[in-house]
Structure 1
Amino acid sequence: MRDNTRPLSPHLQVYRPQITSILSILHRMTGVTLALAALLLTYWLASAAYGPEAFGRAQVLLESWFGRLVLFGFTFSLFYHMCNGIRHLGWDMLWGFDMPRLRITGAIVVITSLSLTVLSWLMAYGHVGKL
């Protein structure tokens, strides 16, 4: 008889998370997040077309601390997905598949995404000239 307590194939708990797998999962998550951001943008534009009261409600929602946190997450998702997409273009040209380069480019993608997110928020709220 076969031992049915063993899994048929290795599962997530067997593998140790690696930078490539984590960044791949994050790329997929930011893609889904950007789809949700498109829905929020549609809501905002539709409220502007519907009238001043609807637009005012949308603005209050987006200017709240929770709305700004969501928008910050959407901004990071946009920059991360863009930077990692550029990294994938390098892979399409068969560049950067060795492990040291994978780690370096992964770190560059994360640091660049965070930097662009913070810089864009500083620019949006007029704090860049005051630095």
Structure 2
Amino acid sequence: MASRPINRPLSPHLQIWRWGPHMLVSILHRATGTAMALGGTVGLVWWLAAQAAGPEAYATWLWFFRELAGGAIGYVVAIGLSWAFFQHMSTGVRHWILDVGAGYELKTNKTGAMATMVVSVVLTAVFWAYILGVK
């Protein structure tokens, strides 16, 4: 028996949607959460394994984080992870505001999405200025 096509409505596809800051913030929220979870897990497991393996393994861990990660690459990773934290936190606050029923108007939603990106960069800059002792 031959099946004939059923005329069903199709779900909107990516070609229909226009890109907006609220979409970027949604993707960034997932990406920053994943980056922090993976980075934190790797660092914690390595630290715990080094502690359990003995003084030589722990000395290697300390050397890596003091010498190698203390250089330019370490600063890039640390600044990136701190930005990820502040971006994830800002987006979480935005989602909390949306959960209480506010901010669903299109203009307000887009402004809030852009504000999370600005706030995360500003908080990261202030945080690192404090750490580095910039006055």
* TM-score, reference length from structure 2: 0.77
The one-letter amino acid paired with 1:36 is: L
State yes or no: 1:88 paired with 2:95. yes
SS in 2 for 1:94: coil
- Supply the RMSD in Å over aligned alpha carbons: 2.3
How far, CA to CA, are the matches of 2:61 and 2:35 in structure 1? 24
Q: Relative contact order, CA 8 A, sep 6+: which one is greater? A: 2
Deviation at 1:81, TM superposition (A): 0.5
How far, CA to CA, are the matches of 1:48 and 1:114 in structure 2? 34
SS in 2 for 1:25: helix
Q: Percent identity over the alignment?
A: 29
Which of these residues, 59, 66, 72, is aligned with residue 65 of structure 1?
Answer: 72
Structure 1 residues 1-131: aligned runs within 5 Å: 11-42=13-44, 45-46=47-48, 49=51, 50-127=57-134, 130=135
The one-letter amino acid paired with 2:40 is: A
Deviation at 1:37, TM superposition (A): 2.5
Gap regions ≥5 residues in structure 1: 3-7
Instruction: State whether residues 47 and 55 of structure 1, in contact with CA within 8 Å, keep that contact through their aligned partners in structure 2.
Output: no
Gap regions ≥5 residues in structure 2: 52-56
Instruction: State whether residues 32 and 84 of structure 2, in contact with CA within 8 Å, keep that contact through their aligned partners in structure 1.
Output: yes
Could you tell which deviates more after superposition, 37-46 or 81-90? Answer: 37-46
SS in 2 for 1:54: helix
Q: 1:64 to 1:14 in 2, by over 3 A?
A: farther
Structure of higher CA gyration radius? 2
How far, CA to CA, are the matches of 1:13 and 1:77 in structure 2? 29
How far, CA to CA, are the matches of 2:128 and 2:44 in structure 1? 21
How far, CA to CA, are the matches of 1:74 and 1:95 in structure 2? 29
Residues 10-30 of structure 1 show CA distances to partners (whole Å, capped at 9, x for unaligned) of 543553311111110111111
Deviation at 1:54, TM superposition (A): 3.1
Deviation at 1:72, TM superposition (A): 0.9
